[in-house]
Amino acid sequence: MKSYRLQLMVCAGTGCVSNHSFEIKDALEKEIAKHKLQTEAEVVTTGCNGFCGAGPLVVVQPDGIFYQMLKVSDIPLLVEEHLLKGRPVKKLMYVPPKEEAPIPKMSNIPFFSDQTLVALRNRGMIDPENINDYIARGGYKALAKVLMSMTPDEVLQEIKKSGLRGRGGGGFPTGIKWETCKRIQSDTKYVICNADEGDPGAFMDRSIIEGDPHSVIEGMMIGAYAIQNICEGYIYVRMEYPLAIKRFNIAIEQAKEYGLLGEKIFDTDFNFDIKVRRGAGAFVCGESTALMTSIEGNPGEPRAKYIHTVEKGLWDKPTCLNNVETWTNVPPIILKGAEWFSSIGTGDVTHDAWGGSKGTKVFSLAGKVNNTGLVEVPMGITLRDIIFNIGGGIRDGKKFKAVQTGGPSGGFIPENLINLPVDYEELTKVGSMMGSGGMVVMDEDNCMVDMAKYFLKFTQEESCGKCIPCREGTKRMLDILENITSGKGKEEDLNLLEELSNVIVESSLCALGGSAPNPVLTTLKYFREEYEAHVKDKKCPARVCKQLLTYTIDEKQCVEVGHGCGVCKKNCPDNAIIGEIKKAHHIDQNKCGKCGVCYDVCRFNAIRVE
Amino acid sequence: MPKLKIEDLEKISDEFKRTMTVREGGGKVKVTVHMGTCGIAAGAREIMNTFVQQIEEKNVKDVILTTSGCAGLCSREPMATVEVLGQAPVKYVDLNSEKAKKIFEEHVLKGVLVKDYALSIGSERIQ
Amino acid sequence: MITVNIDGKDIQVAEETTIVKAAESAGIWIPTMCYSELFEPYGICRLCSVEIIRGKRTRIVTACNYPLRENGLKIRTNSPVIQEIRKVLIELMLSRWPNVPVVKNMAASLGVIEPKFVSLERDEAEDACILCGMCVNICRDVVKANILGFANRGIKREVVLPYEKMNSECIVCGACAYVCPTGHIKIKSLDYERGAVADWYLGPKTAINIPTLQAVPRVPKIDEESCIKTQTGGCGICSTYCEPEAINYEDKDEEVEIEVGQILLATGFQLIDLKQMPQYGYGRLDNVYSSLEFEHMLNSTGPTGGLVKCKDGSEPRAVGIIHCIGSRDENYHKYCSRVCCMYALKFAHLVKDRTKAEVYQFYIDMRAFGKGYEEFYKRLLDEGVNMIRGKVAEIAEVHSGSDGKPYLLVKCEDTLIGKFREIALDMVILCPAIEPQFDAADVKKIFSISQSPDKFFLERHPKLDPISTMTDGVFIAGCAQGPKDIPDSVAQASAAAARMLSLISLGEVALDPVKAEVVDEYCSGCRICNNLCPYGAISFVDDKKISNINEMLCKGCGTCVAACPASAITGKGFTDMQILSEIEGLLSI
């Protein structure tokens, strides 16, 4: 077996790939060959490292030197200096905001050092298309352990004791779900991995699949063993994840070749097989019943869940569905034990499965923070830690305003709750939710009404349209918000929004409708004064809602500094600016289309916006 | 590909352990070859190759081989630093491939200092 | 059984009963819009939302599909929270479909007159689609044709056919239109070829019908062509409603073997296909009927209850009856169909009796040959029926009438006055030729009988034995033998029955002793004789590999004797030896 002195871990997550990381890889290989270092250095493509904001990334091991935002033109220097001469290249390293000294080692960068990796344990460490890498990192040992030394009930108890809860949204205790599914009598049962990750900006699951597909497969196998009578597993991946689909297929092929999938696994009586199903990209297909309807070959629409899917799911058979991150958490729990897992997180799950949030959660950190990307943190960490330590604070030194968690149907959490520990119950208490782990940070420049409208627009467009409250109700809410942000809002609209929201929450068929009004409800709760400013004063305090802005020209500034240059007049698409060269200009408010072009083109800071 | 048995998991794991050690940055012993311009001129590449060969030949899994720049003592190049986990690093000077082989066998594998080639114990590591 | 409490009332229901059904049994109304007992509850209108109380926890569920499983569950169907939900929901619907009656009525019963929302998707139509999904569900769950579905997401959702095109998988059962609560789905009849007997003859009908009121036995039958179950395997609703469980979908036509000694062939006739004579416009023009169709119209249990009506429902002003369509015609049948003249006269009489219409008879020769027939003809002439002697050349539809109503123009030559005439009529009745059944040749083969040149079955002797055939024990009667009217058919059939009974009462049949006989040892099994026998008396015995002669059928004609190459067949009492001995005896005298 060839061993190399150096391993260059090139990130091939979708974020980095779209930033041309494959070109970086080719350049690296070319340069290495040029310096005849092929025998010493190996270039490895890995899954997503999570720090997507800084991509494309290369980590040079064994020293863990972290290079970011690489360009092909940087590569000759990097290879010559670092690989040949052993001098890490400082100018390609990460520099924390507001500081000057670069941090060479990946493990010293706060973005990485403050994370706790369980689900993402193999990120950046293995080649996702090579099963041997996964095995070398302890892969399939948990499977071997359950098949050789544990009864299905013991596995079940272990998962129950660990306090693992669904990472896809609802936070349903995984052990209880498995137990119920096991209890229902049937010769045919299914396990499903929900990889239909649809939240805008969230890519935890994609990252796990692309970086570590075998961990999901192993988790599903352990689940199938614990539940028993499972005839097949399905992985439902959305079409928009071609790389994830490819890696799953490769992983399944490799596992089959090794006899890890199929019949008589490890010469026991345990048989299991997995099929990949591609979803067409409907957001609602992330809902378990809609997902199953979709696998069955029908349009993905949810159905009533009064009879649970663990009893009557896919093809009316008992079905256990968990999401990618949940399945990935299973093998480490088996290997390291329930005690280890439940030592991370909050609350106590020994008596009540709903009593705490255990383990870690992957969040996709986005919005106005310095470090955007994927972060895995222990449950119970405060929002402040995530946003200000790992996320590196708010961009451009602006003021933090709110954070929206749980994807498009989550709620907004205001600044005074920044020390809130992140777990299922706490987030629900303040009107938001864990969801699948989206986290969008907003600063003072964000208008809360506009943000609520943005998220509602998403859920409204993605509503399948089956039930009336979700189909008609969310559209009416959006209309009202449109009115408010364009200055046509009335004071009673706020109460109407609340009334409508409550009915939609209470009466919708599935969780999509049941949670769609959350952004509106939480902003109404925590930022009501912003709504009132919109409807009463017809003003947008954050100056986002263009229809509510007034553009004026500071005539003094215009004449004295700009000498009435007339650029604004030339560029105004509505011909709303009146004035002659060298004289003060002013804006005809009746004509002004509030496009903001004048503000952008004025070089003399003479345009005022209110 | 024959079907995997449980023992095979260990075998594969073992086989790839060296790669993983490098990626994880772990390992019991870390060998640093100083590869500044002076070092390369004095034959540091040969020392490096010797260490690589040794690692492969002896099928050692938990040794990390890395490079650094000039150590500042250009007249005594080629140089290498051997650091056993939990112990102070040791600098060796005026190396050739014979010496490197011996250092590898004695110090790296057995943990016995090769006093004849050693310059000093401890280092001016950058914090 | 479990006990649940709905609005304070304790109710006993079977486990898994839905709340809607439980409430119904207690007389409590829960509003529903998308619910039907025909298919699994869809649960999308959400109007049936109710509160269920389990201990301290209250939950809102839909009553249509929530299965009751636990004792002591408390349900509130009309709490303030529920009222608020229903109100907002119906307001949402009313704002979008303000004029649809079901929505308006539901709003009224929930106390909503004007919605507080303004819908940008407002649809003023009274028959707008309210996306209740009934049509989609019935097509999928009941009909199982599964051709209706939803397209688009969210507010743009709509009901569509695959690729929004007419689909051949649609069995045109009409179930979707039947369940549609707003009348948005309509069944549009396509212009199809009229004239196939089933279309008009018995009128429109459902998949389960009593064929006619005079049917014997008078019970409903399932029409396999229009039954959903036979087409898709779905539906089956009738069996759930039939209390005596009399519906058996498995019942199929079957073949039964009965051993008999004599057979009477009374296979009847068929009418000539009128569509091969395009000049008469049958199947193309409205109000051109065949005599059988008109007979059905005259029937008091027929589609018009016995009234003579045009297709548009009006009474005809003039009716023409055209004789000899395909009879006495060099191009079709040379023979006379015998019955047309008299039924045409009857039609004329009934049209005169029931309407004020003028009646025209177009005939070649009037053949009123039976008892009382000529008298009937005379009476008709007195009633003022116009008799035109001549063949009709063409019937055309003309639209230039003064009242805009199209009429039929019959062009013919009146041979009595020697003029070409055009006569305007509202209705024309064609008297088609009687012809042998299409499969008469097959029947002939089966029974080893013969057909005359006109393809009717041939009797043994036209004058002396018009009821039996050349095959013993096979008799014929009625129009299978040749065109005839009802009295003649009855007489012939009675005669045949009497002949058959006389044989039965004798108990034995006297046969001619002259028979042929196979000498088993000589027969090589060549089967030459089998097909030669005109009486079908010779059959091949498979296990012995030789031919055998049925003595009952053999007439002793000697054909086989002469044909047998092995000389294995001899005439009984006429062997070579016997004949030679007889000659010898004669010569010795």
User: CB-CB: which of A303, A462, A476 is closest to C153?
Assistant: A462
Q: Give the model confidence (pLDDT) of C79-104 as tens digits.
A: 999 999 999 999 999 999 999 999 99
More confident residue, A292 or B4: A292
Q: What is the mean pLDDT of residues A102-107?
A: 82
Measured in whole angstroms, the distance separating CA C43 from the mean position of its chain's CA atoms is: 40
Q: Is the pLDDT of residue C58 over 80?
A: yes
| Sheet (strand B63-68) strand order | B63-68, B29-34, B80-84, B90-92, B118-121
Cα separation values, C90 from A380, B111, C118, Å: 43, 83, 13
Give yes or no: residues A459 and A604 share one domain.
no
* B125 interfacial to chain A (CB closer than 8 Å): no
Q: Give the model confidence (pLDDT) of A444-469 as tens digits.
A: 989 999 999 999 999 999 898 999 99
CATH of the structural domain B6-121, one choice from 3.30.70.360, 3.40.30.10, 1.10.260.40, 3.40.50.10800? 3.40.30.10
Residue B127: band (very low, low, confident or very high) from pLDDT cuts 50, 70, 90: very low
Q: Give the model confidence (pLDDT) of A182-202 as tens digits.
A: 999 988 999 999 999 888 878
Nearest CA in chain C to A507: C46
Distance CA A130, CA A135 (A): 9
Give yes or no: residues A528 and A554 share one domain.
no
In a domain, C90, yes or no: no
Residue C202: band (very low, low, confident or very high) from pLDDT cuts 50, 70, 90: very low
Q: Is the pLDDT of residue C195 over 50?
A: no
Domain's final residue, options A507, A535, A563: A535
Give yes or no: residues A237 and A268 share one domain.
yes
Q: CATH number, domain at A173?
A: 3.40.50.11540
Q: Within chain C, what is the greatest distance between any pair of CA atoms?
A: 132
Number of structural domains in chain A:
5
Q: What is the mean pLDDT of residues A211-230?
A: 91
In a domain, A120, yes or no: no
Are B and A touching by the rule of 3+ CB pairs within 8 Å? yes
Q: Are A391 and A380 in contact (CB under 8 A)?
A: no
pTM of the model: 0.73
Give yes or no: residues A219 and A273 share one domain.
yes
Give yes or no: residues C304 and C178 share one domain.
no
Give yes or no: residues C214 and C339 share one domain.
no
In a domain, A370, yes or no: yes
Give yes or no: residues A433 and A453 share one domain.
no
Domain's final residue, options A416, A443, A470: A443
Residue C205: band (very low, low, confident or very high) from pLDDT cuts 50, 70, 90: low
Q: CATH number, domain at A474?
A: 1.20.1440.230
Give yes or no: residues C15 and C159 share one domain.
no
The pLDDT of residue B2 is 65
Residue A552: both structure tokens together: 């004026």
Q: Is the pLDDT of residue A316 over 60?
A: yes
The pLDDT of residue C587 is 93
Q: Is the pLDDT of residue A13 over 70?
A: yes
User: CB-CB: which of C43, C65, C96 is closest to A472?
Assistant: C96
| A136·B12 Cβ contact <8 A | yes
In a domain, C257, yes or no: no
In a domain, A507, yes or no: yes
Q: What is the mean pLDDT of residues A410-419?
A: 91
User: CB-CB: which of C66, C81, C155 is closest to A471?
Assistant: C155
CA dihedral A23, A25, A26, A32 (to 10 degrees): 140
Give yes or no: residues A338 and A229 share one domain.
yes
In a domain, A253, yes or no: yes
Residue B111: band (very low, low, confident or very high) from pLDDT cuts 50, 70, 90: confident
Q: Give the model confidence (pLDDT) of A354-390 as tens digits.
A: 888 899 999 988 889 888 888 899 999 999 999 998 8
| A135·B55 Cβ contact <8 A | no
Q: What is the mean pLDDT of residues A537-557?
A: 86
Domain's final residue, options C249, C283, C316: C249
In a domain, A118, yes or no: no
Mean pLDDT of chain A: 88
Which residues, 6+ apart, have CB-to-CB distance to A216 below 8 Å? A193, A195, A208, A209, A235, A248, A324, A327, A328
Q: What is the mean pLDDT of residues C549-563?
A: 87
In a domain, C114, yes or no: no
| C85·A306 Cβ contact <8 A | no
In a domain, A432, yes or no: yes
Query: Domain residues for C525?
Result: 516-588
Determine how many CB atoms are found less than 10 A away from the CB of residue A149.
8
In a domain, C113, yes or no: no
Give yes or no: residues C430 and C445 share one domain.
no
User: CB-CB: which of A3, A62, A135 is closest to B13?
Assistant: A135
Distance CA A113, CA C544 (A): 100
The pLDDT of residue A353 is 83
Q: Is the pLDDT of residue A581 over 60?
A: yes
Q: Within chain B, what is the greatest distance between any pair of CA atoms?
A: 57
Q: What percent of chain A has pLDDT over 90?
A: 32
Q: Is the pLDDT of residue A229 over 80?
A: yes
In a domain, C222, yes or no: yes
Q: Is the pLDDT of residue C476 over 90?
A: yes
Domain's final residue, options A398, A415, A443: A443
ipTM of the complex: 0.84
Residue listed under structure tokens 């199947």: C283
* A5 interfacial to chain B (CB closer than 8 Å): yes
The pLDDT of residue C333 is 95
Residue A575: both structure tokens together: 């011909």
In a domain, A119, yes or no: no
Strands (E), C200-274: 208-209, 221-222, 263-265, 269-271
Q: CATH number, domain at A402?
A: 3.10.20.600
Residue A1: band (very low, low, confident or very high) from pLDDT cuts 50, 70, 90: low
- Least-confidence region, from C20-24, C44-48, C236-240: C236-240
Give yes or no: residues C299 and C381 share one domain.
yes
Q: Give the model confidence (pLDDT) of C359-408 as tens digits.
A: 999 999 999 988 999 999 999 999 999 999 999 999 999 987 677 788 99
Give yes or no: residues A139 and A14 share one domain.
no
Q: What is the mean pLDDT of residues A580-584?
A: 85
3 state DSSP class of C331? coil
Give yes or no: residues C443 and C424 share one domain.
no
Distance CA A29, CA A25 (A): 6
Angle at C106 between CA C105 and CA C107, to 5 degrees: 90
The pLDDT of residue C194 is 41
| C120·A507 Cβ contact <8 A | no
The pLDDT of residue A177 is 92
- Least-confidence region, from A228-237, B65-74, C483-492, C540-549: B65-74
Q: Is the pLDDT of residue A601 over 80?
A: yes
Residue B25: band (very low, low, confident or very high) from pLDDT cuts 50, 70, 90: low
* C394 interfacial to chain A (CB closer than 8 Å): no
* B20 interfacial to chain A (CB closer than 8 Å): yes
Strands (E), C7-107: 9-13, 49-54, 57-62, 74-76
Q: What is the mean pLDDT of residues A115-131?
A: 84
Give yes or no: residues C156 and C294 share one domain.
no
The pLDDT of residue C201 is 43
- Least-confidence region, from A143-157, A468-482, B73-87: B73-87
Domain's final residue, options C214, C249, C284: C249
Give yes or no: residues A318 and A280 share one domain.
yes
Q: What is the mean pLDDT of residues A327-337?
A: 92
Give yes or no: residues C198 and C230 share one domain.
yes
Of C421, C391, C397, C400, the residue nearest C409 (C-alpha): C397
Mean pLDDT of chain B: 77
The pLDDT of residue C482 is 95
The pLDDT of residue C157 is 92
Q: Give the model confidence (pLDDT) of C438-459 as tens digits.
A: 999 999 988 888 899 999 999 9
Q: In angstroms, what separates the C-alpha of A438 from chain C's closest C-alpha? A: 23
In a domain, A247, yes or no: yes
The pLDDT of residue C261 is 87
Domain's final residue, options C506, C530, C551: C506
Q: Is the pLDDT of residue C199 over 70?
A: no
Q: Give the model confidence (pLDDT) of A233-278 as tens digits.
A: 999 998 888 888 999 999 999 999 888 888 888 888 889 999 999 9
The pLDDT of residue C200 is 44
Number of structural domains in chain C:
5
Give yes or no: residues C287 and C404 share one domain.
yes
| A4·B22 Cβ contact <8 A | yes
Residue C279 is classified by DSSP as: G
The pLDDT of residue B53 is 81
The pLDDT of residue C494 is 96
Give yes or no: residues C343 and C428 share one domain.
yes
| C153·A463 Cβ contact <8 A | yes
Q: Are B114 and B102 in contact (CB under 8 A)?
A: yes
Q: CATH number, domain at A84?
A: 3.40.30.10
Cα separation values, C450 from A402, A592, C221, C445, C480, Å: 102, 102, 37, 8, 12
More confident residue, B28 or A553: A553
Residue C478 is classified by DSSP as: G
Query: Domain residues for A577?
Result: 549-609
In a domain, C94, yes or no: no
Q: In angstroms, what separates the C-alpha of B1 from chain A's closest C-alpha? A: 6
Q: In angstroms, what separates the C-alpha of B37 from chain A's closest C-alpha? A: 7
